[in-house]
Amino acid sequence: MNRYLYEIEIGLKSLTVYRGLLEDRVIQALCSVLQDLASENINFSQFVNDYCEFYYLLAEESPTSPFEDYLIEKIIYDDNAFSRQSEKMDFDNINESFKKAGERDLICLQKVTWIAAGEIKEAAIKRFGQSKIENDLLESLPEWRADGSENNENVKIADLLQTFKSSKRWSECLKALADFYRQNGSGEFAKYYGFVWERTGEKGFLKGISSPDPIRFRDLFGYERQRELIINNTEQLLNGYAANNVLLYGDRGTGKSSTVKALVNEYGDRGLRIIELAKSYLDDLPYVLRAIKGRQQKFIIFIDDLAFGDSEEEYTALKAVLEGSLESKPQNVVIYATSNRRHLIKERFSDRSGLTSDNPDEEVRSADTLQEKLSLADRFGITVTYTSPDKEEYLAIVEGLARNRKLDIDVATLHEEALKWEINHNGRSPRTARQFIDWLEAHVEKRS
């Protein structure tokens, strides 16, 4: 193995601040290739397999970008001690040892991008080539692009990516990197605006959403008063003040979930993040809070279609957070929940029978139990009600959607068809109006 490739292999092993990059499967595969060239115990077949595995993984992860772009993006979105310090304080105040370690790591990583596929194949021929068949096979192995100058599709990091690519020494990019963390956060919270809480076995984790619902406020019509309440509360959170948990209650299809999803598209660049938590994972709520504790971003934990049976175990975790448990909810977090039911916990007539019953099997303090069930919704600081629109409101929503789509149709015909649609389908609601416009768009010519 030539000295230059050996130096890169050792450099990767000696990463400190950015050591988490060694968990990346593409970089792991590259390390295997470099180790093969240095090992006395690896045969020709193993090297070919590892080389092709690296090429395959790089093509899977970054099919259109060169390896240099791939590695820089991994550096930018790495979550480490330096990046977490950088998002909380100015560069001048960051621990000097982190700065020096970061600069050293960046120098080592820059050398990795200088590796050319031809250089590795040449070293492999010297190391493994013992016949024409082996040499021909090595020479025929595909080569990846080490660097390139095309524009990156990720607008958020385009400038920083170019700063790295144009720099002779990546260590000089450390301040620009810290400034990015300060503005956008670090790790997955810099890369994604939206997350879902998922579980593998007994372990839960946050998964970033690469293609979130693109809904914006300009796509929503009607319910201006309701949106204003939710927007004002969200801006209160973004401005650093304590904000209320919000329950969006009302009829189905009225835009409750769309309103919450639109918030992150409007305010993501101001540090707002949304985490969707399924009702079935409510017991994991304390773990979600710990995963985001201490972050600079503001978080909405979004629980859609919230309703419970009459078992207290189903809502204990949520009740504890809303009431204020010993492990308090961070001030940068609010809970926004939607529900079609005003009272979130199922109430039975039998609950009321205990108020007057002399049956010895009935609960003695049944009134307390009844109030407990009815009061969960009251623990949300703000309740916003969405009711189905009347005829005029429904048609106004249809008109707004038609204008957005630039549909060439007269108003009288639009109204007539919209009313026919709501009779034959799901009744009046913003969802019905959108479904009607989706159908209509395929049946009329759009304006240029």
pLDDT tens digit sequence for 342-385: 554 554 444 445 445 555 444 444 444 444 545 566 778 899 99
Q: State the pLDDT confidence band at 161, using cuts at 50, 70 and 90.
A: very high
How far apart CA 386 and CA 397 sit, in angstroms, is 14
Number of H helices, E strands in the chain: 20, 7
Q: State the pLDDT confidence band at 109, using cuts at 50, 70 and 90.
A: very high
Alpha helices in 311-376, H assignment, sequence order: 316-323, 349-353, 366-375
pLDDT tens digit sequence for 416-448: 999 999 998 878 999 999 999 999 988 876 544
Query: Residue 245: enclosing H or E segment and its boundaries?
Result: none
Taking residues 196-211, report their average pLDDT: 91
Alpha helices in 203-353, H assignment, sequence order: 224-238, 256-267, 285-292, 316-323, 349-353
Backbone phi and psi for residue 196, each to the nearest 5 degrees, phi listed first: -125, 145
The per-residue pLDDT for 310 is 56
Q: Is the pLDDT of residue 72 over 50?
A: yes
Name which residue leads in pLDDT, 128 or 71.
71
Tokens of 149: 């100058």
Report the range of poorest mean pLDDT among 3-7, 48-52, 287-291, 302-306.
3-7
Taking residues 282-289, report their average pLDDT: 89
Taking residues 66-84, report their average pLDDT: 95
Tokens of 109: 């990583």
How far apart CA 92 and CA 378 sit, in angstroms, is 47
The per-residue pLDDT for 180 is 95
Q: Are 12 and 31 in contact (CB under 8 A)?
A: yes
How far apart CA 159 and CA 165 sit, in angstroms, is 10
Q: To 5 degrees, how large is the angle CA 341–CA 347–CA 349? A: 135
How far apart CA 206 and CA 276 sit, in angstroms, is 9
Closest CA relative to residue 238, chosen from 264, 212, 257, 256: 264
How far apart CA 148 and CA 303 sit, in angstroms, is 43
The separation between CA 324 and the C-alpha centre of its own chain, rounded to angstroms, equals 27
The per-residue pLDDT for 320 is 72
Residue 150 DSSP symbol:
S
Beta strands in 277-332 (DSSP E): 298-303
Mean residue pLDDT of the chain comes to 86
How far apart CA 264 and CA 272 sit, in angstroms, is 6
Taking residues 84-91, report their average pLDDT: 92
Distances (CA, A) of 73 to 162, 385, 386, 412: 11, 43, 43, 53
Q: Is the pLDDT of residue 319 over 80?
A: no
Residue linked to tokens 């101001």:
270
The per-residue pLDDT for 146 is 76
Closest CA relative to residue 438, chosen from 395, 404, 389: 404
